[in-house]
Amino acid sequence: MELGLAQKIVLVTGGSKGIGLACAAGFLAEGATVAICSRDQANIDRAVASLPGVAGFAADLTDAGAAAAMVAAVESQLGPVDVLVNAAGAARRTPPDELKPEFWRAAMDAKYFSYINVIDPMVKLMAARRTGVIVNVIGVGGKVASATHLAGGAANAALMLVTAGLATAYAPRGVRVVGVSPGLTETDRVAEGMQSEARIAGISVEDARARAVARIPLGRMASTAEVADAIVYLASDRAAYITGVSIAMDGGTNPVIL
């Protein structure tokens, strides 16, 4: 299927690893010009080496000034961004009895504000140009509460509201905003989460993984490429009438009406 993404300029935050890196590869395969952002320059260097042609930008996206400067640098070097994919940041999983106010704040910084600090300047630039797509990689924890992911889930839920609200606010000015909420996916972050789940349950990491996979009707975790495929499609003109929704990709784990 021709997605019409050739010549588009795409910025992927969190693009040096996991789902973000898979998105960068997916857009590159469609002929787009791709920039990635990560806090860690070493991770950027590895990603750029694996994906020739991708431009890398280092920034701490929990800092609003640094995020805005990164957006300005990308547009200065590559041109106006057509597609923004937010995939940076993740909150640490913490048992409820160990949660403290600072943990909740850290989760909002890591997951919520690392998105908002990029969305805010970007959506306004797109609106001024009357064109653009923003895809937020969120997570099913924003809809279905997990005892070990309450702080991160709260940040995800806030992003779901932001996605719906900004989509409505900016649709008249040509900007679409969509959310994709993966369930368990084969990433380093999920592997780290499995270690926390194993510690809390007093079982091995292998047993924790087996339990988690057993709850997925499709019988396996998603690959990063599968999640990226959905994101690339949603960013294309083939999905031009889709906005304001957060689409779950959890392999049927949570059979709820969306």
Strand partners, 178: 135
Q: Is residue 2 part of a domain?
A: no
Amino acid at 221: M
Q: Answer whether residue 258 shows pLDDT above 70.
A: no
Q: Is residue 211 part of a domain?
A: no
Contact (CB, 8 A) for 19 and 228: yes
Strand partners, 247: 180
Residues in the chain: 258
Taking residues 1-16, report their average pLDDT. 94
Q: Regarding predicted confidence, which is higher, 256 or 153? A: 153
CATH code of residue 226: 3.40.50.720
Structure tokens at 193: 């989460």
pLDDT of amino acid 89: 76
Residues 246 and 183: their CA atoms lie apart, in Å, by 13
Q: Regarding predicted confidence, which is higher, 131 or 143? A: 131
Helix (H, G, I), strand (E, B) or coil at 145: coil
For residue range 63-73, what is the model confidence (pLDDT) as tens digits?
999 999 999 99
Q: Is residue 159 part of a domain?
A: yes
Q: Is residue 212 part of a domain?
A: no
For residue range 86-140, what is the model confidence (pLDDT) as tens digits?
999 777 777 777 888 998 898 899 999 999 999 999 999 999 999 999 999 998 8
Q: Is residue 33 part of a domain?
A: yes
pLDDT of amino acid 127: 98
Q: Is residue 75 part of a domain?
A: yes
Report yes or no on whether pTM surpasses 0.75. Answer: yes
For residue range 24-57, what is the model confidence (pLDDT) as tens digits?
999 999 999 999 999 999 999 999 999 999 999 9
Count of domains forming the chain: 1
Structure tokens at 53: 């042609």
Q: Is residue 156 part of a domain?
A: yes
Q: Is residue 209 part of a domain?
A: no
Residues 151 and 256: their CA atoms lie apart, in Å, by 22
Residues 217 and 147: their CA atoms lie apart, in Å, by 21
> What domain range is 56 assigned to?
9-183+222-248
Mean pLDDT of the residues in the chain: 92
- Please tell me what DSSP assigns to residue 94: -
Residues 121 and 13: their CA atoms lie apart, in Å, by 14
